[in-house]
Amino acid sequence: MPAPVPSGYTRGSILFLARGLDPYGEERLFQHFWETSGAYGSRIVLVPTGPSAWEQAQQLAGRFQEWESDTVDVLQVTCREDALRTELLDVIGQATAILLLGDHPLKLATFLGGTPLAQAIRRANARGKVVAGHGAGAALLCEHMIAFDTQAVRARESPVPFLHRHRIQLSPGLGITNRVVLDSTSSTVGEGWDRLARLLEAVAYNPFLVGLALERDTGAVIYPDNTLEIIGRHSALLVDAAEMTHTNISAYRDPSPLSILGLRLHALGPGYTYRLQERTAHPPPPSDIPDQGVPEWAGEG
């Protein structure tokens, strides 16, 4: 559950950053995070888990230092005991932004869930600090987290239907936001239908949630006014079950496929927004800057 916002404060932005297809696309996302964090005055804390995340954190620390952040700290969280260290709380309290890194959101949850470090990160966001997650670790920012896809395990034994009631395993996340559920599975060719299936099941369980999946080199920002904006180079898939009229997901023993009626599906490119409170999607405002590099034939009828 998100921490309550104290009087006189405004909640900080929340960033979901997908992995990149190329260094340039990923760097644009990290630069957006750096600018949101305060740019030259930013005090960034990186929280990696696992050897690969630790190596990435060291590289990012060097990059943010080259960009002249005020300070960059890397908190090594390799086990739950690390997250119980009280000296880490002062580092979080001094930060303008926290970035979670890791390939396994469920492992992140077992390390951080219910610890003083997790509470400090939630309080920091409630007091205006930016909180972000990169790659699979971005799923941890949600209160309802897609831990893994059970189909990947079952498919080794026997074929399973595209839509069935127990495709995904949900578990509690860090709870920075309780409005969005993120599918952070790595995106490859042919996985689009799998992503859609996971999001459909997630929002069928809880129609209050908005399901979100990001393509590579793409991110999403939730601003303090509960507006979600897509950033980066590609698009995002958003599933809204607010007007759902029927689902059979509660029929636990029914062998028939999952059915859901009345969903809304949005494909949002960079600059497109979605207002979580009103549950409406919007194109970017008109720009006075002329289009660059558009072939002349593109405007022909």
The domain total for the chain is 1
For the chain, helix, strand, coil in percent to 5 are 30, 25, 45
Q: Please report the sign of the dihedral spanned by the C-alpha atoms of residue 33, residue 36, residue 38, residue 43.
A: negative
How many C-beta atoms lie closer than 10 Å to residue 178's C-beta? 15
Domain membership flag for residue 300? no
Q: Is residue 110 part of a domain?
A: yes
The domain that contains 140 carries what CATH number?
Answer: 3.40.50.880
Q: Is residue 289 part of a domain?
A: no
**Are the CB atoms for 78 and 108 separated by under 8 Å?**
no
pLDDT at 189 (0 to 100) = 41
Regions of the chain short of the pLDDT cut 50? 153, 155-159, 187-190
Q: Can you give the pLDDT at residue 298?
A: 57
pLDDT of residue 181: 97
Residue numbers of the domain that contains 37: 14-282
Average pLDDT across the chain, whole number: 88
Residues 115-147 have pLDDT tens digits of 999 999 999 999 999 999 999 889 999 999 988
**Percent above pLDDT 70 for the chain:** 87
In a domain, residue 2? The reply is no
How confident is the model at residue 107, as a pLDDT? 83
Residue 106 confidence (pLDDT): 85
**CB neighbours of 293 closer than 8 A, spacing ≥ 6?**
none
User: Could you tell me the pTM of the whole model?
Assistant: 0.90
pLDDT at position 190 = 46
The pLDDT of residue 301 is 54
* Contact of 112 with 62, CB cutoff 8 Å: no
Between 87-94 and 116-126, two packed helices, what is the crossing angle to 10 degrees? 20
Judge whether 190 lies within some domain: yes
User: Which pLDDT does position 257 carry in this prediction?
Assistant: 81
Domain presence at residue 287: no
Is residue 24 situated within a structural domain?
A: yes
Assess if residue 193 is contained within a domain.
yes
Q: CA–CA separation, 212 vs 195, rounded Å?
A: 9
**Residue 116 — left, alpha, or beta (φ > 0 → left; ψ -120 to 50 → alpha)?**
alpha
- What residues does 17 pair with on adjacent strands? 134, 219
Nearest residue to 90 (alpha-carbon basis) of 109, 68, 73:
73
